[in-house]
Amino acid sequence: MTLVLGIGLRAGTSYRELRDLVDRALTGVVGVVGTVATVEGREDEPGLQRLVASLGAQLLVASAVDLAGQQVPSPSEQVGELAGTASVAEAAVVLAGAELVVPKVKSAGATVAVGLLGPAAPGYSCADRDVVHRVIAERRDVRRGFLDKPVDDELLTRVLEAAHRAPSVGLSQPWDFLLIKDVATRRKIHDLAAAQRDAFAASLPADRRSAFDGLKIEAILDTPLNIAVTCDPARGGRHVLGRHADPRTVWFSAAIAVQNLWLAARAEGLGVGWVSFFDPAEVGAVLGLPAHVELLGYLCVGHVSEFAAAPELVRSGWAARRPLAWAVHQEQWGYRGLPGSSVSTTAALQDAAASSGRVGGGSQVLRLVVLDGGDVAEHLGAADVLVVQVGAEQPAADFGVLWRPARTADEAVELGVEVARDLVLQGVGELLVSSIGDSLVAERLTEGIRWGGLACGAVVKRVDEPAAVTDSPA
């Protein structure tokens, strides 16, 4: 059994006093002390340091604020006034994730409480957890505000080490990191991105194109360092564990390495911007990649003046974040809701429609054509048309077609709701929907689009009826 000792002590408390108190507290308790936890400000006390060393334990230091947030059996007002927390010893045990088995015992200068760590491995302390969540929330894709300051080699190595610790299928570690500082090389890469930018702009409907004109999509020449992250899909030969059934897993692994890099860079105050406006083979040719190695991601890296609080695409109104509750399904697809909440079925979504808020903010007008079978190609001419194909046969890959093969009429509604909501997140403010033919599933999906669009504050119009029905949010 692993034990946690929570210790509160006055400055200058001797090792002897602490040791005697600990022995008293541990009388009759079976286990090995793995952690000693105390309050910030006492970690350097010589008596405590010696105790921790003699026990061979790790020292966990918690802030008074974190300790004050713990529920304990014996809080003390006096300690509260002095230390900013009504308990140190017991609160430190609880904060370390242990179950309190010996409430605090006291000597003249110290208090000791004992906790037992359960069979589940403990998590980090509150403060450490906060840092992890903070770095995840505050990581940004950065394209502006880079400083003219080189990236220190040691810092860069730390960040690359974090990337290199990523999980990988069969421990295949399929990534490599190509560091690029040379301006001539970066110019060539920049030209490739510029050409792709033009091609993308040309593919957009007029209103979306003008919004795109204001967006910066890369910082290749603004950063002192670019990193090409590559993937060798066959690394490790024939029997890489876990890859045989799903070869995509090597790509997942390399992408996770990028995320590790991104988070570690954020923690170091280093901005990273991922650029994907490339044909990977063209970048590979500029960089002289061997034919068996492919580009996974191209990163622009450098010190920045600030990290924005929200993604640039959100701040510019180009796209919006998807609520977590839309992304969590319970037991079966379509039963959405956060853990512990009642799940939201299609009926609930319909009920919610009237009361939901606007999630997007975009003004793009999109024409949606809902089809059950038939040829999608004849509808794809204009850039502002999206075809939703509900037929069972998968159409050829084309970003102009969403394949939503609903198996039942109810599922069609649910899929329609999702289609509309996700379009609103991508800047659509008005949906002009036509359902072609008399398919029930297509009709129900169209109804779902109406519900989903209205729920998110979009304007939804049916345009296939002689007298067009217009619905606007109340």
Ligand X SMILES: Cc1cc2nc3c(=O)[nH]c(=O)nc-3n(C[C@H](O)[C@H](O)[C@H](O)COP(=O)(O)O)c2cc1C
| Chain residues that interact with ligand X, rule: CB under 6 A | 140-141, 143, 217-218, 274-277, 311, 313
Closer CB to ligand X, 224 or 311, in the complex = 311
CA atoms of 115 and 138, how far apart (whole Å): 34
Which residue number, 225 or 313, has a Cβ lying nearer to ligand X?
313
| Nearer CB in complex with ligand X: 80/311 | 311
Nearest-approach distance from CB 324 to ligand X, in angstroms: 14
Q: In what order do the strands lie in the sheet with 469-471?
A: 401-403, 385-389, 364-371, 428-435, 459-462, 469-471
Instruction: Give yes or no for a contact between 242 and 169, defined as CB atoms under 8 angstroms apart.
Output: yes
Closer Cβ to ligand X, 225 or 343, answer by number: 225
Q: Is 348 exposed, middle or buried (0-12, 13-18, 19+ CB in 10 A)?
A: middle
List 386's β-bridge partners, or say none: 368
45 or 141: CB nearest ligand X = 141
Q: Which is nearer to ligand X, 8 or 273 (CB)?
A: 273
CB 225 within 8 A of CB 156: yes
Q: How many residues does the chain have?
A: 474
Find out whether 437 and 421 touch, Cβ atoms under 8 Å.
no
Provide the minimum distance between the beta carbon of 121 and ligand X in the complex, in angstroms, as a whole number: 30
**Minimum Å distance from CB 307 to ligand X?**
9
Closest CB 274 distance from ligand X, rounded Å: 4
Shortest Cβ 314–ligand X spacing (Å): 7
| Minimal CB distance residue for ligand X | 311
Distance CA 317, CA 425 (A): 9
Which residue lies nearer to ligand X by CB, 140 or 450?
Answer: 140
Is the Cβ–Cβ distance between 378 and 387 less than 8 Å? no
In the complex, least distance from residue 54 CB atom to ligand X, rounded to whole angstroms: 47
Residue listed under structure tokens 């990523």: 166
Three-state SS letters, 330-351: CCCCCCECCCCCCCECHHHHHH
Q: What is the DSSP letter of 146?
A: B
Q: Provide, rounded to whole angstroms, the least separation between the CB of residue 122 and ligand X.
A: 30
Kindly tell me which of 314 and 328 has the beta carbon lying closer to ligand X: 314
Mode of pairing for the β-strands spanning 270-275 and 469-471: unpaired
User: 312 Cβ partners below 8 Å, 6+ apart?
Assistant: 140, 141, 143, 144, 215, 216
Q: How far is the CB of 292 from ligand X (least distance, A)?
A: 22
DSSP lists the bridge partners of residue 5 as: 36, 114
CB of 282 to ligand X, least distance (A): 14
* Of residues 122 and 233, the one with the C-beta less far from ligand X: 233
